[in-house]
Chain A
Amino acid sequence: RKEVEQDPGPFNVPEGATVAFNCTYSNSASQSFFWYRQDCRKEPKLLMSVYSSGNEDGRFTAQLNRASQYISLLIRDSKLSDSATYLCVVSTYNTDKLIFGTGTRLQVFP
């Protein structure tokens, strides 16, 4: 079983739609959680960290459920520019390493 699992998609949604991505992780010792965004043929970039209480950044909301070892990302009012692959990332306490999911591809169409 992979340490971090994501639905690969693609998710094809119209502009203005709300879309949600889910991610599960297998290591209960995981302590830090992130969503990264990767555009086609580009490097990954941090989208947002995920905090225990949940957090929001504009149209993006991230939530964490430690009991179920589950992370989610909600995008409201989708824009064409949101088209990308979204990577779920976890790390364990006191480690210098990040574990990446394989990513979920989002395509927003007009």
Chain B
Amino acid sequence: NAGVTQTPKFQVLKTGQSMTLQCAQDMNHNSMYWYRQDPGMGLRLIYYSASEGTTDKGEVPNGYNVSRLNKREFSLRLESAAPSQTSVYFCASRTAGGDTQYFGPGTRLTVL
């Protein structure tokens, strides 16, 4: 039981490049989330998915797209990376009605 996994762990991009951050959970959770964490800003919700086939915007969705591929996987795509997207990205999941969000280990992204 790996919990929530994320790939890659680290990534460096040039401005304008695109990439997809992958997230998978093996806990049969319904809800999945993408956050970014910046110094002094705390965790901010980018997008979330309450169930397979649905996605909703969070607090800071601009510049990102998501896909809930199936119940296990929820990916985050940067179409044209900008230096302002330099951050640590966390994926999380939660069972329906549950209190706890379980986080992946994070992806550290730098955009030059």
Contacts and interface: CB of A to CB of B under 8 A. Distances in A.
Contact of B90 (A8, A44, A46): A44
Contact of A103 (B35, B42, B105): B42
Contacts of A43: 90, 103-106
A96 interface: yes
Task: From B42, B44, B45, B90, name the one whose CB has the most chain A CB atoms within 10 angstroms.
Answer: B42
Given A87-B42, A102-B40, A96 B50 contact: yes
Interface in B89-109: 90, 94, 99-101, 103-106
A49 interface: yes
A87 B37 CA distance: 12
Question: What size tier do the contact residues of chain B reach?
Answer: 20 to 34
Contact of B103 (A45, A96, A103): A45
B74 interface: no
B42 A49 contact: no
A96 B48 CA distance: 9
Nearest to A46: B100
A42 B105 contact: yes
Contact of A96 (B31, B42, B90): B31
A100 B103 CA distance: 13
Interface string A75-98: 000000000000100000000111
B43 interface: yes
Given A44-B90, A97-B48, A103-B42, 17 more contacts: A8-B40, A32-B99, A34-B99, A42-B105, A43-B103, A43-B105, A45-B103, A46-B100, A87-B42, A87-B43, A96-B48, A96-B94, A98-B45, A100-B35, A100-B42, A102-B41, A102-B42
